[in-house]
Chain A
Amino acid sequence: MTIEYRQITDAEQRQFWKVVARGFGGHYTAGQENYRIDRELLPPATTMCAIEEREIVGTSASLPFESAVPGGAIVKNAGVTAVTVATTHRRQGLLNNMMLRLLRQEREKDQPVASLWASESIIYSRYGFGISIQHENFLIDTRKAAIKHSPEIPGKIRFISGDEARKVLPAAWEAAVQANVGIPRKNAAAWDHYMLDVNSGSGDWGKPWLIVYEEDGKALGYAKYLLKEAHVFGEKTHGMINADHVIHSNAASHAALWNHLLNVDLYDSLSTWCSPSDDSLPWMLDDPRQLQRKPYDGVWYRLLDVAEALAARTYLAEGSLVLEVEDSLVPEWGGRFELDGGSGGATCVATTKPADVTLPTASLATIYLGGAKLADLHRAGRVEENTAGSVALADAMFTTVRAPWCPMMF
């Protein structure tokens, strides 16, 4: 039985989506409109599948993202998604073969980095992915969480309907894309997909509420939240708010949105799943311990073109470093690179000079957006320091004043 690895054809699209859904434990029940959007999101040219006698047994694909790196440049970013292997075809190398081909295919499209959300955190380091963006889950009893510190809020919050949202949310999202490192731009299909969610309820949570924060008529942030009542002995005890998306692009939008969410009458158990790891909410509260915080790995990055990726960002401290990057999956993507960087920009070129640090490509991806320190990876044995002080220099260069953030699962 031979397995071929290739993009799907137009005729194989419904089968593709069925197999993807099954891989994540569900049946594919999308209606006509949903199916249209799905096909637009992942056209055949974005896929890489394992196919055995016309039967799709492994799937992977990549969304053509663009997102900011430190310094504000927007780079192409392959958003890896829909990765599944059929339970019937475990341990036959399908994932290895698909990932290798998918990453090669995406590099051909001049994308210097790839990124993904991992279904399990044990899988992707072997393909050179490292945890680049970490997030926190929040759980707050809003009755006990008063805001004590706040920036000035010149703008206003208002509720918006689903119809208006399709116009307003993309503007707020774009503001967030430009103000933060790591948030992918969304195309029309992605917004259409999002609107399916906005316009439908989700189980007993009901239909989401949308609020937008505006200054001078410009949308700078929005939140989407769901409400659920809880009853004990027929009495309403407390209501739950699930703040599904809290998207902000400046201090005022952040403060205004959280102020709203902390003050929804009758709903006092507030949870959210994707705050930046350095969210300022704890520093705004009178009693920060009322905010329970649970960190987790968010987005994993993979460098497809080390030189281009490193040259795209700026660095907080001026410096020059020779990095020996080990890429065990695609050895020719690794090598020795000389990085010269500072607050104005950087160059990064192949070199034969001796390396200051030697590290696997996943470790470099981990520090790429400023979301982790090389010193921590060094203590874990994930980088070798050949020149004393070079780990500290790397951290002084790669550090960013704010942590990267990606409030969008894909």
Chain B
Amino acid sequence: MTIELRQVTDDNFTEWRRAVRRGFGEHVHPDDIARLRDHRVEIDRLMAAVDSRSERIVGTAGADSYSLTVPGGATVPMAGVAYMTTSVTHRRQGAFSGMMTRLHESARERGDIVSGLWASQAHLYGRFDYGLAVSSYNWTIDPRFGAFAHSPEPVEPAEAGSQVYFVDAEEAAVILPDIYDQMRQQTPGAVDRNAGRWQYGLFDEERVRDGASALFFAVCEEGGEQTGYVTYRMRRKGDSDMGTLQVEEQVSTTDTAHAVLWRFLLNFDLVGKITAENRPADDPLWWILSDPRRLNRKSHDSLWIRLLDVVKLLEAREYNANGRLKIGVVSESQPEVAGTYVLDVEDSQASVKKTTEKPDVIMTPGDLAALYLGGTTPGPLVEAGRIDAVAPGSLARLHGMFATDTAPWCTHYF
């Protein structure tokens, strides 16, 4: 074997970054290497696969340290896996699996109890026991059909107890992070964004805009509290063009802020189309519109997660029903994870231990990961032959216990 896994250091960081972007079919802008190094990465969590004959990097991997919110509002340490590439010159030599295995080992050593990722391709990560835990929608809507039939509070400026105002990029950099942080603590599936990630995320030079305008920022305030924001770009050919308003991110900490900001977005003149990617699976706008079919939605996979410490994770989240359930986890790839876990839930909290009793339901670690954040009900996985609900009534119990009042959402892409 000529492929060795090595730590990334400042000496090979530039080569590593070039290899990452080459894997995604891009060249690296020289400024972006320092930007990434300074704001985004933790260099001791990055890994390179090196061909020892040529001493060149032929595979890249890494993780960022995140805090993931789980149902009930607890947060758990997560390895956010990213930068995964294998050079086209070194396919099928085990580089990718080797890096994944090492990443998971090192995440466990650091105390992460879950790992998560956004998949470049959706067939890649099931074999590493990842389950699709969060799905989202990409939206388009013509604002001329954006009338509201309902809203939690009045949203028309004249009667609303809230207000929306524009802020510039400098103000946004101060205001947005607090609102985001409140939102992510109350949203299962959301992750934290530290100062570096904000700096990196708000970077807005011409070359990252893809022909659209620079970012606009608007904030919603209710009773002196800033409760939501939207960042967007405009695409328009000339002043009379019915352009496209491209929502980059819309975050709110209250239902009112959500309704008020979408009322604001749907009120623009000279906009023929609004696009918004990665909206929550249960976003209430669908239930607010007078003509909901005008909200065109397409489903997309979002966050995939892998359970690193099953007991800690199962104990971290809250459950929707009290009771006892024995979950059999079968895994050839992770014998240490395999076994039957008995959940005793009282007052929404579970105590979890391994048991030698017979399981009520049997599934793989990837299936348990898919259920964990409440992003899917178990019924379809049973029908697909993935979960075996062996005990009578166990599907209803599993469904009732794992149900959540909000769908998970991860607006932070990494």
Contact = CB atoms under 8 A, between A and B. Distances in A.
Nearest to A144: B123
B186 interface: no
B399 A316 contact: yes
B380 A279 contact: yes
Contacts of A378: 255
A343 B291 CA distance: 35
A287 interface: yes
Interface residues of A, number: 52
B381 A280 contact: yes
Q: Which of B122, B282, B385 has the most CB of A within 10 A?
A: B385
Most buried by A among B282, B384, B405: B384
Contact of A380 (B122, B137, B151, B386): B151
Contact of B293 (A121, A254, A382): A121
A382 B384 contact: no
Given A380-B151, A399-B400, A286 B284 contact: no
B47 to A, nearest CB: 26
A402 B389 CA distance: 14
A379 B403 contact: no
Q: Give the interface size bracket for B toward A.
A: 35 or more
B82 interface: no
Contacts of A376: 282, 284, 287
Interface string B294-319: 10111111000000000000000000
Interface in B369-388: 370, 376-386
Interface stretch (A23-31, A91-99, A164-172, A291-299): A291-299
B385 A289 contact: no
Interface stretch (A101-109, A146-154, A331-339): A146-154
A325 to B, nearest CB: 16
B255 to A, nearest CB: 5
A150 B293 contact: no
Interface string B245-283: 000000000010011000000000000000000000010
Nearest to B282: A376
Contact of A149 (B150, B259, B384, B396): B384
A283 B386 contact: yes
B132 A149 contact: no
B45 to A, nearest CB: 27
Contacts of A395: 403, 405
B320 interface: yes
Interface string A353-366: 00000000000000
B208 interface: no
B384 A280 contact: yes
Contact of B379 (A278, A294, A297): A278
Given A149-B386, A280-B381, A287-B122, 12 more contacts: A148-B126, A150-B384, A251-B383, A280-B379, A280-B380, A283-B370, A283-B384, A283-B386, A296-B293, A395-B405, A399-B399, A402-B383
Interface of A: 120-122, 125, 131, 136, 148-152, 251, 254-255, 278-284, 286-290, 292-297, 316-317, 343, 372-373, 375-382, 391-392, 395-396, 399, 401-402
6 contacts: A120-B293, A125-B149, A283-B376, A287-B121, A292-B299, A381-B151
Interface of B: 121-123, 126, 132, 137, 149-153, 255, 258-259, 282, 284-285, 287-288, 290-294, 296-301, 320-321, 370, 376-386, 395-396, 399-400, 403, 405-406
